Amino acid sequence: MVFDSAEYWRKRYESGGNSGAGSYGVLAEFKSRVLNHFVAVNKIESAVEYGSGDGNQLSLLEISKYLGIDLSAEVIKNLRHKFSDDSTKTFMEYDPDCFVADDVVRADIALSMDVILHLTEDRRYEKYMRNLVKSSKKFIGIFNTATESQLDQMAQHNRYRDHRVWMNLYAPEFSEVKVDLTPVDLGYPATTGFYFYQLQANISHYLLMRHE
Ligand SMILES: C[S@@+](CC[C@H](N)C(=O)[O-])C[C@H]1O[C@@H](n2cnc3c(N)ncnc32)[C@H](O)[C@@H]1O
């Protein structure tokens, strides 16, 4: 049977599973420390995250306004409950195969954390990246292992992708402005880290045209 990444995540959450090791412990702390610093330095006020997960990583994020989008109805229901006292955070379930980003989901920074690894199908990866880029007013933050080299044994829900290749080809209006790689002692592949992009003012008309 052909592996279906969306089905995998829906079932995983429905059966009580969580977002995985990368959303907890030292890796979650690294991701939040790097992201919170970038948000503060650049005075970023709003974020939209594609693949918000179970909320553990989100509980460490410091930002004025946040929209979390995920394909799992179960996880969105749980997030609304978990953050019911926090009016700065809203959540939306979406169908990753049909959704086309519009102004409602645009924010200062569009985030993708530990999701690209799970986009095993090319068409889902393509769609996901297009929505991510379209949702950014100024910045994009991607936490990923940026390589096309697979391990000898990969779990069926994992596939490494070098998002830098896609960004260079299809989003040249965004330049890579900062990369924070994970510390070596955490044991992740060398290209694992947070990659930040900024919309270049001189070619921002690209983006305006995309929204027409
Ligand atoms: C490993 S978790 C990461 C969660 C969170 N971003 C974090 O860093 O803790 C991956 C998340 O991506 C979601 N996901 C998988 N495929 C997706 C897609 N095509 N579009 C949006 N979210 C997706 C899953 O449902 C899951 O919540």
Condensed to tens digits (0 to 9), the pLDDT of residues 110-150 reads: 999 999 999 999 999 999 999 999 999 999 999 999 999 99
For residue 49, the ligand 1 atom closest to its alpha carbon is 6
Condensed to tens digits (0 to 9), the pLDDT of residues 44-59 reads: 999 999 999 999 999 9
Any atom of ligand 1 within 6 Å of the Cβ of 141: no
Per-domain boundaries in the chain: 5-210
3-state secondary structure 30-80: HHHHHHHHHHHHCCCCEEEEECCCCCCCHHHCCCCEEEEEECCHHHHHHHH
83 token code pair: 């953050």
Q: 27: helix, coil or strand?
A: helix
Nearest CA to ligand 1 atom 12: 51
Q: How far is the CA of 49 from the centre of ligand 1 (A)?
A: 9
* All residues at 6 or more sequence positions from 138 whose CB lies less than 8 Å from its CB, including other chains: 42, 44, 108, 109, 198, 199
Record the pTM: 0.95
Model pLDDT, residue 103 = 94
Run of H or E residues at 132: helix 122-134
Matching CATH number, 5-210, of 3.40.50.2000, 3.40.50.150, 2.60.120.200, 3.40.50.720? 3.40.50.150
Model pLDDT, residue 2 = 87
Any atom of ligand 1 within 6 Å of the Cβ of 53: yes
Residues of the chain whose pLDDT is less than 50? 212
- The one-character DSSP state at 152 is S
